[in-house]
Every structure is written in C-alpha cells, then in structure tokens.
Amino acid sequence: MGYVRMILSISWTESRRSYIYNLFVNLTVVLVFIPAMHHKMVFFPESRAICKYVARKHKPDLLREGNLKESAMVDVWLEVEANQYTAALNPILYQCLVSPMFGGTTDQKVVEENLEKLKKVLEVYEARLAKHKYLAGDFLSLADLNHVSVTLCLLATPHASLFDPYPHVKAWWDGLMARPSVQKVAALMKPSA
C-alpha cells in the first residue's frame, strides 16, 4: 500500500476541538503532527483508527474478526494498550524526551508516579504472557503491534530496562523486535544523524 506524507499546520485558535488541545491547554498556537489518513472519501484523524482500518483492509487476521472470542480479546488488549500502558508511558516519554528537546527539565516526580503505574500494568502483562505467547492469545494481533512505536520510544529513555524484571514481558517484546516488520519500523524511527 502506497501513501503520501503531508504536513498540515493546525492552529489551536482554528480547531479547539482537537483531542490533543488538552495536552497543550496553556499554549495559544501550537503546531503539531497528527497522524491522519484520507482514503476513498473517509478521513481518519487518529492513529489507532488508521491502524484498524489498514488491518481490516490488508491484514484482517490481526483483528481476528472471524472469531468472536478472539476478536473480543484483541479489542480488550487494544483498550488496555491505549488506556493503561500508553496512558502511563506518555508522561514518561514527555518528561524524558520531549521536554528536554525544548529546553525544559525532566520532572522526576511525574516520571516516578507514572513508572509506578506502568509497573502495575506490566504485572498484568506478565501474568497474561505467562499463559499466552501474545496478549490476546497464542496469535499475533494488532494489540501486540500497537505497542511497538511507543515502546521503541521508551528504549530511548533512561528507563529502557523497565521490562527486565518481567521475563514473560521481556520475551514477548524480544519476539516482537525479532519480526522483520518491527525491525523496519524501528529503523524508520531512528533519528537521522
């Protein structure tokens, strides 16, 4: 599938309804990059919606939609990734990577609070992955792959060893990283020299 990459500037004074606005509530004008896709008269302004759309179109087995139970498990773990894992990880990434890029300092209290939240999530993952090879079951799904980009960012922080105390989580992650498609994404995410 081919794609065209476009950069669109969004002024918060023009579009205050954007869900990202809440992250930057004290700023009047912010330019951000929002993943979006336009295909056959349908516009998707959210990365998870884009992922599901592309999976349904090109790799429907990643959603297991032919099996109600497996599909429900994929949905459950997609929600856990979005609302627990990434929700705890995003403030860590902001404090460790984004804030210093713009001359800010890392708020260690925010980092520590969210590391504790993330460790609780990882305990749940560890228990799940002790019983199954992947989060939704013994099959690779979008629920697993949705962790890749944000976890690759974690590896660029001082907390890259966070998975070490969780052997099943670490094995799951190492297995994902061994996949050629994930290696390709990792290579694309490396900053240029």
| 58/69 Cα distance (integer angstroms) | 21
pLDDT digits 0-9 by tens, 66-100: 999 999 999 999 999 999 999 999 999 999 998 98
* C-alpha dist (Å) from residue 16 to 36, 94, 111: 17, 22, 28
Among 52, 25, 49, which Cα is nearest to 36's?
Answer: 49
CA atoms within 13 A on the CB side of 69: 3
178: phi then psi, degrees, rounded to nearest 5: -80, -15
Confidence tier at 40 by pLDDT (50, 70, 90): low
- Residue 193, pLDDT score: 42
Whether the per-residue pLDDT at 113 is higher than 80: the answer is yes
| 193/189 Cα distance (integer angstroms) | 12
Q: Which residue ranges make up each domain of the chain?
A: 63-189
- Helices and strands in the chain, H and E counts: 9, 2
- Residue 57, pLDDT score: 84
Mean pLDDT confidence for 51-78: 91
- Indicate the fold that domain 63-189 takes in CATH: Glutathione S-transferase Yfyf (Class Pi); Chain A, domain 2 (1.20.1050)
- Residue 12, pLDDT score: 38
Whether the per-residue pLDDT at 179 is higher than 50: the answer is yes
Whether the per-residue pLDDT at 5 is higher than 80: the answer is no
Of 33 and 86, the one with more pLDDT: 86
Among 147, 151, 46, which Cα is nearest to 92's?
Answer: 151
Query: Which residue type is seen at 145?
Result: L
The burial of 57, by beta-carbon neighbours within 10 Å (0-12 exposed, 13-18 middle, 19 or more buried), is given as exposed
Whether the per-residue pLDDT at 1 is higher than 50: the answer is no
